[in-house]
Amino acid sequence: MSTTDFRQSNRRGGFYWDKDGKPYISVTTILQVLDKPALRYWFGKEVYRALVVDPSLSEKDALAAPYRSATTAMGRGTTVHSIVEAYKHTKKYLESIPDDFKPYAQAFYTWFEDNDVEMVENEKTVVSKKYGYAGTLDLIVKFKKNGRTLIADVKTGKDIYDEVFMQLSAYKQAYEENGGEKVGIGVLLLSTGADGKATGKYKFEEGEYCFDEFLAARKLWIWKNQELIASIKKHMGERKTIKSKKEEGVKIESNEGE
């Protein structure tokens, strides 16, 4: 299976950069172009709640409330992904997990047991040279009973939203493009209750391959970010020129020493 070498890469500015300095647009960056009505509703609700708790809040402080909640959600997501990583090595292990997150871990473990699932890989970065994007998938799993293999995304929250299947379709394309076996796609939701706490329950849903829809989002993202793309191309050209001059200097010095 051939893959682009990302061992010396890093992710910055919405791109993955390979060891040669070539950028690949992040899948999640592309999907930011989509309208998310549920996110707008959540944002408004967080502002409202902040003002209910403290009516004296300034406009600036009230509008900052959703970002404080988002930081908490990001911390929750990081912890859950640590649970996934740990499971690969230790299987069930609740002792060191903070109490607030134990129900998420238990839901994750239960899904594996209920479905007789084997973890094949996790946190795998895949790249599509054909379409110029990259992303990091959560899980590749195999169902032991029927031998089916899926790319699975692990989410926490109250429900599964359609756009996640565009994300997974992009991962599937990149994975298979590089010689990976044919895979399905699915989402494992570790449920969060109305009180914002983990319920200990899960929901799993397989989805349809919708890569054409992802490509439409990619096309729209490119259209909306022409200035950024032009700037990156300019800097890459300048970098290439500097590199060529340095290599030429080495060549000249080598010749002079002969």
Q: Which residue has the tokens 């909640």?
A: 69
Q: What is the mean pLDDT of residues 205-209?
A: 95
User: For position 200, what pLDDT does the model report?
Assistant: 93
**Cα–Cα distance measured from residue 35 to residue 144, given in angstroms and rounded to the nearest whole number:** 38
**Cα–Cα distance measured from residue 148 to residue 170, given in angstroms and rounded to the nearest whole number:** 19
pTM of the entire structure? Answer: 0.76
Which CATH code fits 11-35+97-224? 3.90.320
Q: Which residue has the tokens 């795998």?
A: 124
Dihedral over Cα of 199, 204, 207, 211: its sign: positive
User: For position 54, what pLDDT does the model report?
Assistant: 77
Least confident span in 75-84, 111-120, 230-239, 245-254:
245-254
pLDDT band at 237 (very low <50, low <70, confident <90, very high): confident
Buried b (16+ CB within 10 A) or exposed e, 59-76: eeebeebbeebeeebeeb
Buried b (16+ CB within 10 A) or exposed e, 131-144: bebbbbbbbbbbee
- Condensed to tens digits (0 to 9), the pLDDT of residues 124-159 reads 999 999 999 999 999 999 999 999 999 999 998 889
Q: Six-digit token pair at 95? A: 């002792």
Helices (H), the chain: 27-31, 37-53, 59-90, 102-115, 163-177, 211-224, 226-256
68 has pLDDT over 70: no
User: For position 36, what pLDDT does the model report?
Assistant: 59
Q: Which residue has the tokens 């044919």?
A: 182
User: For position 45, what pLDDT does the model report?
Assistant: 61
Q: Are strands 133-143 and 23-26 parallel, antiparallel or unpaired?
A: parallel
